[in-house]
């Protein structure tokens, strides 16, 4: 009699055991499916990485790159993509980079030297982005820093980086 009751209890436990296994496996499946279907947007991080690369190229150790200057002042022939090892590839319409130089003593007035590369039409997306109603437009990141030239002139540098790539990143 004791053996019969023990077998009956084992049968009931094995049914619950399979039910628990099915629940755990189903939960794992649902979590993995949600993880792989979730959206991720790395455009803002990509824009920050581009700014860091450009700022390191323009100013190293607090000193401006000597290639920015020629005998007349700022070098108008400075090729930012080549000098800073940036590659916009075939998707040049997906990126925009703008660098403005300001005199440290008058931050309101830009110097007459601006470097820009890429699709300038993306700049309009930055104003729309501030409203935060639209999630699939270009991502704009702006950073500023101070630097000195060889003559100890102080400059305030503003870098704007815009990444579009909405087809690849935003859904």
Tell which wins on pLDDT, 22 or 130: 22
Distance in angstroms (rounded) separating the CA atoms of residues 78 and 67: 7
96-114: average pLDDT: 80
- Can you give the residue ranges of every domain in the chain? 1-38, 43-169
The residues pairing with 117 across neighbouring beta strands, listed in sequence order, are 97
**What's the confidence (pLDDT) of residue 53?**
92
Q: Is pLDDT of 22 > 90?
A: yes
Distance in angstroms (rounded) separating the CA atoms of residues 145 and 157: 5
User: pTM higher than 0.85 for the full model?
Assistant: no
Ranges 31-35, 111-115, 121-125: which has the least confidence: 111-115
Distance in angstroms (rounded) separating the CA atoms of residues 84 and 17: 61
Distance in angstroms (rounded) separating the CA atoms of residues 64 and 55: 10
């Amino acid at each position: 009699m004791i053996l019969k009751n023990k077998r009956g209890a084992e049968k009931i436990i094995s049914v619950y055991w399979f039910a628990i296994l099915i629940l755990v496996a189903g939960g794992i499946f649902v979590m993995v499916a949600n993880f792989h279907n979730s959206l991720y947007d790395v455009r803002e991080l990509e824009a920050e990485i581009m700014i860091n690369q450009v700022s390191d190229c323009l100013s190293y150790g607090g000193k401006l790159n000597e290639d920015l200057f020629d005998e007349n002042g700022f070098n108008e022939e400075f090729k930012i993509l080549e000098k800073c090892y940036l590659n916009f590839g075939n998707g040049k319409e997906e990126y925009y980079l703008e660098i403005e130089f300001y005199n440290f003593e008058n931050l309101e007035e830009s110097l007459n030297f601006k470097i820009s590369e890429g699709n300038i039409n993306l700049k309009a997306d930055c104003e729309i982005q501030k409203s935060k109603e639209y999630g699939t437009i270009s991502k704009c990141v702006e950073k500023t820093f101070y630097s000195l030239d060889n003559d100890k002139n102080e400059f305030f540098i503003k870098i704007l980086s815009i990444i579009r790539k909405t087809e690849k990143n935003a859904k």
